[in-house]
């Protein structure tokens, strides 16, 4: 059994594809993880390869309860609100998102499994998705435990997207039924979002005079191997949340004369930061000069695991 599998990533589209045979499901708003099960127990790895088994104890116990078997499950660790919707803010609050190796635990997070990559000595990645999906459903069943199958929904994707947005969900995911499991972003999987949401580095902040918080955050993304400025965000913060974030940012202040990113936005009182803190940001669109439009802060991601930071093409 492989020790780690680089995940298949969904390509962002503005509307569902009109050709091809696709399977559709809800897009979950949490942490992408893989669950490994063998004779030694269970292990949960993040997309960046960090072992978070101890941080999701309910999921780990659910995985152990599936044995004896060998299995690799691909899916999303989420926390559900009282209406059954995944809520990244709730998950982030449980985990603490402090970047500490011994960070908080999301004791009641559940795992929404959407692919099966390995089963009882057999590597399934070469099989088409429709076959892997049937094997996943057979292996997990329909029990509402800590490890659940992400439901496949038979519907027109345009209608499904409309309903998902009306219910306050993040969007939908489509998977080509005839494709094998291929790591990376290759078009085999697609995502259509109600509102775009991605991870960005916090590269600085504009202080708010007379308060312990700040006026706005300055954000960065990758362009190749370089981190570049992509705009700022000044909404979405609760008062206590902003104060705690300000304290955390002040521990990673940038001490060089030149800012960590090229910046032409003006403002002499900006406090620059080492690009280590990662924020999840909702936004409506991009400007022609690669700046975020109508951005809002959702929460702080784990800074150990920067695999999700947005990459400008």
- SS3 category, 244: helix
- HSE of 276 in the Cβ direction (CA atoms, 13 Å)? 14
Q: What is the DSSP letter of 56?
A: -
Q: If one looks up domain 196-308 in CATH, what number appears?
A: 2.40.50.140
pLDDT in tens, 249-282: 999 999 988 899 988 776 668 999 999 999 999 9
What pLDDT shows up at residue 175? 97
pLDDT in tens, 140-194: 987 778 999 999 999 999 999 999 988 888 899 999 999 999 999 999 999 998 8
Cβ burial, residue 141 (10 Å; 0-12/13-18/19+): exposed
Q: Which two tokens stand for residue 146?
A: 């800590």
DSSP conformation letters of 38-71: ETTEEEEEETTS-B-GGG-HHHHHHHHHT-SS-E
Cβ burial, residue 32 (10 Å; 0-12/13-18/19+): middle
Catalytic one among 27, 79, 175, 193?
Answer: 27
- Out of 101-105, 157-161, 231-235, 300-304, pick the least confident: 101-105
Q: For the chain, give every residue range classified as CATH 2.40.50.140.
A: 196-308
- Out of 48-52, 90-94, 195-199, 244-248, pick the least confident: 90-94
Query: From the DSSP assignment, how many helices (H) and strands (E) are in the chain?
Result: 5, 18
| Region label for 113, one of left (φ > 0), alpha (ψ between -120 and 50) or beta (otherwise) | beta
Q: Which two tokens stand for residue 187?
A: 């078009």
Q: For the chain, give every residue range classified as CATH 3.30.470.30.
A: 8-193
Q: Is 27 a catalytic residue?
A: yes
CATH class (in words) of the domain with range 8-193: alpha beta
């Amino acid at each position: 059994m492989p020790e780690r599998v680089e995940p298949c990533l969904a390509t962002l589209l503005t509307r569902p594809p009109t050709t091809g045979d696709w399977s559709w499901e809800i897009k979950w708003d949490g942490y992408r993880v893989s669950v490994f099960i063998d004779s030694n127990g269970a292990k949960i790895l993040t997309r960046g390869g960090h072992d978070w088994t101890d941080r999701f104890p309910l999921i780990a116990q659910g995985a152990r309860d599936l044995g004896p078997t060998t299995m690799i499950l691909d899916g999303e660790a989420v926390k559900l609100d009282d209406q059954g919707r995944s809520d990244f803010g709730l998950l982030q609050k449980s985990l603490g998102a402090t970047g500490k190796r011994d960070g908080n635990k999301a004791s009641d997070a559940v795992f929404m499994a959407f692919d099966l990559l390995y089963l009882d000595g057999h590597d399934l990645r070469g099989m088409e998705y429709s076959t892997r999906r049937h094997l996943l459903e057979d292996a997990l069943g329909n029990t509402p435990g800590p490890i659940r199958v992400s439901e496949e929904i038979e519907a027109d994707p345009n209608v499904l997207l409309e309903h998902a947005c009306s219910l306050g969900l993040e969007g939908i995911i489509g998977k080509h039924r005839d494709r094998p499991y291929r790591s990376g972003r290759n078009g085999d999987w697609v995502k259509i979002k109600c509102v775009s949401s991605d991870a960005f580095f916090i590269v600085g902040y504009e202080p708010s005079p007379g308060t312990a918080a700040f006026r706005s955050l300055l954000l960065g993304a990758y362009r190749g191997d370089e981190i570049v400025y992509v705009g700022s965000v000044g909404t979405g913060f609760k008062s206590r949340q902003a104060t705690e974030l300000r304290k955390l940012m002040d521990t990673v202040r940038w001490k060089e004369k030149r800012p960590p990113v090229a910046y032409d936005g003006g403002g002499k009182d900006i406090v620059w930061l080492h690009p280590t803190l990662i924020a999840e940001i909702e936004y409506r669109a991009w400007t022609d000069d690669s700046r975020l439009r109508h951005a809002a802060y959702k929460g702080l991601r784990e800074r150990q695991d920067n695999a999700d930071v947005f990459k400008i093409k």
